Amino acid sequence: MAPKATVKKKQKKAKPPLEAASVKGVADILPKDGDWWRDINDTGRHLSSLYDFHFMETPLLEHAELFTPSVGDSPANFRKLYRLTTEEGEEAALRADLSAPILRSYIEHHLGYYASPLKVYHFGSVARQEKLDNGKRCEVHQWGFDVVGDNDAVYDMQVILAAMEFLKLLKFQNLRLKINTMGCKVCRPNYREKLKAYYRKQAVCEDCKENLEQFPLRLFNCEKETCVPLKKDAPIILDHLCQACNNHFKSVLELVEDNGVLYEPNPYFVREKEYYNRSIFEIYSGEYPHALAGGGRYDYLSEMLFGRAIPGVGIALGLDRIVEQLKVHNVPLHHREKPRVFFIAVGERAKKLSVRLMNQLRMSNIGVVEALGKKTLKAQMKFGEKVDAPLALLFGQKEAFENSIIIRDMKSGAQETVMLDKLVEETKKRLK
């Protein structure tokens, strides 16, 4: 009998290891930048409390319809959403802005009964698919202040002041406010027709031709050489405001002046989302060309989305830009509590017991730093020199068996052995 032929099995190619790289357009917040972000969060929480804004957070996922063109956004922007279909068949999207989710939550949870108006602060990331040129990101972090349920001009001013004080506390200087009005559904339609009539006679770029009929206000944002000069002769909305919008804008400007805010009225400044109405604004610092914060009144957004007219005004600070500028100008951070003691443990028994001892110190508001992963006393001491703590606590095998610990003054080198039941008391005494 002839021997059976052996068939060699094809070996599967080993899958190459995953490249350790983030998705293009997003970025990690690294430990080396952690103090900047911590400073921003501490400042924001402190300021929000002073201004009586309450913390609120909406989910990262929302119904995609929350960001539809029906609220005055372009179909192109709708296509930029990161969309997905849930297992229940719902069309969802990553949060693309913060105002619409705030209103959704306001209605869903009847927050008008909680406070009227509702004043909230919130922070988190928003995401849209963008062309990633000039360092642009598809995910950015924002801190927002919103007032929902009242259309009084005092609340426009409150969110402006909150954002400006936020930036001042972070040491930003030469702040200025760019401000304009977008009118309302009574006066804006007539103005839009005037604007379209003007631009139809002009030689505009292809992008502006696409926007002209549906989004004529966006032509003011075009930066192409052919279109920029055309703005100076274009009709401005200030000449077409109804009495109510004129009175509201006048009230906002009076409040701006009363509060000593440096401002630049700009009749060609518009926001791309056309659900904004009446006052719109951006905040700049020094010669930095990009806005650090921006917002406006969105009294029609709730009606467009949910069929309920609920006024609102808000402003969002761009945290990524803020951190970038803090680092560029080396702005000093607010005082951060330094670690008060450096804990050294040598030997397995000492290391095991040290976890409980360090926790006792921390629960007594004594900051502790350690490098217990480094096995030797010399290696731990070398790390401790970088910490700049006034005291070191030395805990070895001998001390572990004797229920004692050595407290060393890192400046003078003097040290003393104390019993473990007196550790917290003796440490506090030496830190005074």
The arrangement of strands across the sheet holding 415-419 comes to 368-370, 341-345, 391-395, 404-409, 415-419
Is 371 inside a domain boundary?
A: yes
Q: What number of other Cβ atoms are within 10 A of residue 271's Cβ?
A: 21
Whether residue 174 is found in the same domain as residue 246: yes
Q: Does the residue 400 lie in any domain?
A: yes
Phi, psi of 375 (to 5 degrees): -75, -40
Residue 222: what pLDDT? 85
Question: Are 271 and 391 contained in the same domain?
Answer: no
270 and 134 fall within a common domain: yes
Residue 1 lies in a domain: no
Q: What is the pLDDT of residues 361-372, one digit of tens each?
A: 988 888 888 888
Q: What is the pLDDT of residues 167-222, one digit of tens each?
A: 998 889 899 999 999 999 899 889 989 888 888 888 888 888 888 888 888 888 88
Looking at the domain assignment, is residue 20 inside a domain? no
The per-residue pLDDT for range 12-67, each reduced to its tens digit, is 677 788 777 777 777 877 888 788 888 889 889 989 988 889 999 999 988 888 88
- Indicate if 66 and 173 belong to the same structural domain: yes
Q: How far apart are CA 294 and CA 177, in angstroms?
A: 9
Number of domains within the chain = 2
308 shares a domain with 385: no
In a domain, 76, yes or no: yes
Average pLDDT, the chain: 85
Question: Average pLDDT in the 325-345 region?
Answer: 77
Confidence of residue 156 (pLDDT cuts 50, 70, 90): very high
Q: What is the average pLDDT across 267-281?
A: 87
The CATH number assigned to the domain holding 107 equals: 3.30.930.10
Same domain (yes/no): 291, 426: no
Does residue 290 have a pLDDT over 80? Answer: yes
Tens-digit pLDDT profile for residues 68-91: 754 555 556 667 888 888 888 888
Closest CA to 180 of 74, 97, 317, 294: 294
Check residue 73 and give its pLDDT: 56
Are 118 and 84 found together in one domain?
yes
Could you tell me if 113 and 171 lie in one domain? Answer: yes
- Domain check: are 315 and 356 in the same one? no
Instruction: Give pTM, 2 decimals.
Output: 0.82
The residue among 268, 298, 328 that closes a domain is 328
Statement to judge: residues 311 and 263 lie in one domain: yes
Residue at 422 is within a domain: yes
Which domain range does residue 359 map to?
Answer: 341-431
Residue 338 confidence class, pLDDT cut points 50, 70, 90:
low
pLDDT tens-place string over residues 365-400: 888 888 887 778 888 877 777 777 889 899 988 998
Q: State what percent of residues in the chain have pLDDT above 90.
A: 32
Could you identify the residue written with the tokens 């650090």?
292
Q: Given 276, 293, 328, which residue is the final one in a domain?
A: 328
Both 83 and 58 in one domain: the answer is yes
Dihedral sign of CA atoms 62, 84, 218, 293 in order: positive
Residues 270 and 412 in one domain: no
- The 10 Å Cβ neighbour count of residue 234 is 16
- Residue 148 pLDDT > 60, yes or no? yes
